[in-house]
Amino acid sequence: MNPSPSTPAPLPGAPFLHYQDGQLMLEQLPLAELARQHGTPLFVYSKAAILAALAAYQRGLAGRQALVCYAMKANSSLAILKLLAEAGCGFDIVSAGELERALAVGAEPGKIVFSGVGKTRAEMRCALEVGVGCFNIESQAELDVLSEVATAGGHVAPISIRVNPNVDARTHPYISTGLKGNKFGIAHEQALAAYRHAATLPGLRVTGIDCHIGSQITESTPYLEAMDRVLDLVTAIEAAGIPIQHIDFGGGLGIDYNGDTPPAADLLWQQLLAKMDARGFGKRRILIEPGRSLVGNAGICLTEVLFLKPGEQKNFCIVDAAMNDLPRPALYEAFHRIVPLAEAAADAVTTTYDVVGPVCESGDWLGRDRALAVRQGELLAVLSAGAYCMSMASNYNTRPRAAELLVDGTSARVIRQRETLPDLWRAESV
Ligand code: LLP
């Protein structure tokens, strides 16, 4: 990631992508070559970009007692988990499946936090047996059940309560989680009572407090407001005689999809730590759960133009990636930049297209009203596809999930093979 002075400027929102001699390169590899070798649709990730994103958090938290627990729901491919575990990360998990993924790459159980509103008893048992670092509890009922499960197994469960601070993260309603109307966390007005209750229950040991207000947050203000609410609560909970050892401040930091300007992770943490210091909480252990901001801009999806279909109202550019591969546009009307792998000639004719997939739904689009100079058979890259794309991919329309590559400088490694059709119906019977 150290471009030489002659390296052309990186693309917006993709610090590791640039055109060289008219070819889109990821780190030092021409992407068209990777598409030719491995087929499309194809996810490609930059190792350097992931580590650079992590380094911003590590800089921001340097000198503090802090642990970055990567929220693997953003991208749970084993090679990505392994990379982040080796770089010192713990993990934020939300299911027994994610727990097994973390263990499969050798994660230390003590560096795992278990979030989610609906943990089953079986999942609680698994997590207790391996000794996860903390359960982030989201309701009074969950406290009671975890107490029962832990006591029955002879365990003591370390817990924090996820408080809902009623702060507007000013993001898409589906990914805003810290408002009263959201299903997440315990309302901050009820949090003290929940902590008092937790302290009376056998099999539980209060260790921290937790808060996560949403995702794709592009301003500091909601974080600063939420931090104030959390610190007010820590003061009240400790005054009630319940010590709080760590503050888990969740994830949620946004990335640049379309000119978005979220604060850099280190600058955000400078502001948050200044607040913690000013209020006397600077020495408290800090956990964070970033997902998207570690991997989102480190990945792209390569796709081939199958057909161009001019229409009276719309022109369609039909590509071989679809909503099953990249569900974010269909789910949230999310914007992902789309660029050609071969730079168009200066005099090429540009047409406005809706870029759509082959799936039989009008909601199957990847980009709307995009100005592109493309021809049938050409390759495109959908940017900012490292987070919540492969991890949310499905087999709708009996489409095998794409392959994934991890690029490191001049080499690329297959980290997930393209699914085969027999993979798709292995569990079925007639
Ligand atoms: N911690 C908790 C408890 C969470 O619920 C989430 C995300 C994270 C951490 C990580 O948040 P991040 O740093 O990635 O924003 N599928 C949606 C995003 C859903 C986020 C769910 N929770 C999307 O594609 O935009």
Q: How far is the CA of 92 from the centre of ligand 1 (A)?
A: 10
Side-chain-facing half-sphere of 83: CA atoms under 13 Å: 24
Looking at residue 346, its pLDDT comes to 86
- Which residues have C-beta within 8 Å of that of residue 427, sequence separation ≥ 6? none
Comparing CA positions, the residue from 368, 316, 386, 375 lying closest to residue 340 is 375
What 3-state class would DSSP assign to 205? strand
Q: How far is the CA of 289 from the centre of ligand 1 (A)?
A: 9
Q: Which atom of ligand 1 is nearest to the CA of 334?
A: 25
Closest residue by Cα to atom 16, ligand 1, is 388
Q: How far is the CA of 215 from the centre of ligand 1 (A)?
A: 5
What are the tens digits of pLDDT across the range 251-293?
999 999 999 999 999 999 999 999 999 999 999 999 999 999 9
Q: In 10 A of CB 336, how many CB atoms?
A: 21
Going through 99-171 in order, the beta strands assigned E by DSSP cover 112-114, 134-137, 157-164
Q: How far is the CA of 154 from the centre of ligand 1 (A)?
A: 33
- Our mutation pick for probing the ligand 1 site, out of 170, 292, 323, 331, counting the most ligand atoms within 8 A of Cβ, is 292
Domains and CATH numbers, the chain: 2-46+296-424 (2.40.37.10), 115-290 (3.20.20.10)
- Which residues have C-beta within 8 Å of that of residue 227, sequence separation ≥ 6? 249, 272, 275, 276
Q: Which atom of ligand 1 is nearest to the CA of 291?
A: 14
Looking at residue 15, its pLDDT comes to 85
Comparing CA positions, the residue from 374, 412, 385, 423 lying closest to residue 41 is 385
Closest residue by Cα to atom 22, ligand 1, is 215
CA distances from 359 to 313, 329, 354, 401, 423 (A): 20, 13, 14, 13, 20
Closest residue by Cα to atom 19, ligand 1, is 175
Looking at residue 3, its pLDDT comes to 46
Q: How far is the CA of 390 from the centre of ligand 1 (A)?
A: 14
- Region of 280 (left: φ > 0; alpha: ψ -120 to 50; beta: rest) is left
Mean pLDDT computed over 383-409: 98
Closest residue by Cα to atom 8, ligand 1, is 251
Comparing CA positions, the residue from 57, 40, 70, 56 lying closest to residue 1 is 56
- Reported as a pLDDT band with limits 50, 70 and 90, residue 179 is low
Comparing CA positions, the residue from 385, 375, 315, 296 lying closest to residue 341 is 375
Residue 381 pLDDT greater than 80, yes or no = yes
What 3-state class would DSSP assign to 301? strand
Going through 7-77 in order, the beta strands assigned E by DSSP cover 17-20, 23-26, 29-30, 42-46, 66-71
Q: How far is the CA of 48 from the centre of ligand 1 (A)?
A: 22
Q: How far is the CA of 73 from the centre of ligand 1 (A)?
A: 7
Closest residue by Cα to atom 7, ligand 1, is 215
Closest residue by Cα to atom 23, ligand 1, is 388
More confident residue, 175 or 380: 380
Residue 228 pLDDT greater than 50, yes or no = yes
Q: Which atom of ligand 1 is nearest to the CA of 328?
A: 24
Q: How far is the CA of 251 from the centre of ligand 1 (A)?
A: 7
Least confident window among 3-17, 156-170, 186-200, 297-311? 3-17
What letter would DSSP give residue 106? Answer: T
Q: Which atom of ligand 1 is nearest to the CA of 116?
A: 3
Q: Which atom of ligand 1 is nearest to the CA of 296?
A: 14
More confident residue, 216 or 1: 216
Name residues contacting ligand 1 (CB within 6 A).
Answer: 71, 73-74, 92, 115, 175, 177, 212, 215-216, 250-253, 289-293, 328, 332, 388
Least confident window among 64-78, 143-157, 164-178? 164-178
Looking at residue 1, its pLDDT comes to 45
Largest CA distance in the chain: 74
- Our mutation pick for probing the ligand 1 site, out of 256, 289, 326, counting the most ligand atoms within 8 A of Cβ, is 289
What are the tens digits of pLDDT across the range 148-172?
999 999 999 999 999 998 888 777 7
Q: Which residues are catalytic?
A: 360
Mean model confidence pLDDT for the chain: 95
The span from the CA of 51 to the CA of 265, in Å, is 13
Q: Which atom of ligand 1 is nearest to the CA of 177?
A: 5
C-beta of residue 302 within 8 angstroms of C-beta of residue 339: no
Paired with 25 in beta bridges are 18, 30
Looking at residue 6, its pLDDT comes to 56
- Our mutation pick for probing the ligand 1 site, out of 215, 287, 288, counting the most ligand atoms within 8 A of Cβ, is 215
Looking at residue 166, its pLDDT comes to 85
Tell me the percentage of the chain whose pLDDT exceeds 90: 90
Looking at residue 7, its pLDDT comes to 59
The span from the CA of 324 to the CA of 198, in Å, is 42
Looking at residue 186, its pLDDT comes to 92
CA distances from 164 to 30, 41, 129, 178, 180 (A): 46, 39, 29, 5, 7
H or E element, residue 123: helix 121-130
